[in-house]
Amino acid sequence: MSPRLRLCVLALAALVLLPCAASAIGALPEFGGRIAAYGAAINAIAPAERHVANMVSAINFDIRGLDTIGEEFMLLAAVTGTVVLLRGSRGEGTTDRAVRLPGRAAPRRSDLVVLACRVAGPLTALFGLYVVLHATVTPGGGFQGGVILSSATLLIYLGDGYAAWRDSIRSHWLDGMEGGGALLFVLCGLAPMLVGGAFLENLLPLGRFRDLFSGGLMLIENLGVAAAVTGGFTQLVLEFMEETREPDQPDDPDGATP
């Protein structure tokens, strides 16, 4: 497809979609306006039924938990597809050296950048854990916290370079985190069925309202999502980083190995 044809398709899509988007935005309730019927029903049900103060987590992990499982497996499928495509063309080999482009100087990393990343990395990871653990109390949860945790790992690369990043991050750990987190969420749904309950029906003590350990089974589901998102997003970063690595050189010009 030529660039001109692409622009024509983009313009046609804009003509169709922009009026629809403007109409939908104009129909939104004003900020601070009356809560819709669905929101009012959630506010009435979730605190009493699950002892949670974060209504978003109540929707994600209980009221429409089956949909959330589907979303987690969409993320799993997307990451798996990316890994298969990139590793399929690149191979499974690893090295701690990033490729150097001819004629492009590699400036020395500033000590201030190294210090800032080494300080910000643990603080970012700590904030990510805070967001994960407070899923049932304040805005946040496993998905949001997982993205923050994966961002903290990227600071290793920014602060200490490719070699330290490659030495600290292991792809099989990330595979286990992502797949294990998604599996944990599914098991939380299947476990109640083994004792005659419904899918994702709570089996654990609900705790007290606005307490860190309120929500019962939602806490375990939230941890599964956090592990899956952290592993998945970090795996994506790792695969993209691996595209910049320097290929392992054979021991002789013919490529033979001893």
Calpha distance 188→131 (Å, rounded): 21
The answer to whether position 15 is within a domain reads no
Range of the domain at 158: 44-83+109-242
Mean pLDDT of 38-54: 89
SS3 track for 21-59: HHHHHHCCCCCCCCCCHHHHHHHHHHHHHHCCCCHHHHH
pLDDT mean across residues, the chain: 86
CB 245 within 8 A of CB 95: yes
pTM as predicted: 0.78
Q: Binning pLDDT at 50, 70 and 90, where does residue 97 land?
A: low
The answer to whether position 218 is within a domain reads yes
Where is average pLDDT lowest: 27-41, 136-150, 226-240? 27-41
Q: Which pLDDT score, from 0 to 100, does residue 253 have?
A: 47
Where is average pLDDT lowest: 204-213, 227-236, 242-251? 242-251
Of the candidates 110, 99, 230, 228, the one whose C-alpha atom is nearest the C-alpha of residue 159 is 110
Taking only the tens place, the pLDDT of each residue in 156-187 is 888 888 778 878 888 888 989 999 999 999 99
The answer to whether position 250 is within a domain reads no
The answer to whether position 37 is within a domain reads no
The answer to whether position 249 is within a domain reads no
Taking only the tens place, the pLDDT of each residue in 57-77 is 999 999 999 999 999 999 999
Q: Binning pLDDT at 50, 70 and 90, where does residue 106 land?
A: low
Percent with pLDDT over 90 in the chain: 55
Q: Binning pLDDT at 50, 70 and 90, where does residue 90 land?
A: low
Positive or negative torsion for Cα 150, 156, 162, 168:
negative
Whether 252 has a pLDDT exceeding 70, the answer reads: no
Q: Which pLDDT score, from 0 to 100, does residue 256 have?
A: 43
> Nearest 10 degrees: CA dihedral of 196, 197, 199, 203?
-120
The answer to whether position 25 is within a domain reads no
The answer to whether position 35 is within a domain reads no
The answer to whether position 78 is within a domain reads yes
Q: For the purposes of burial, counting CB atoms within 10 Å of the CB of 182, is it exposed (0-12), middle (13-18) or buried (19 or more)?
A: buried
Rounded to 5°, angle at Cα 39 from 36 and 40: 85
How many independent structural domains does the chain possess? 1
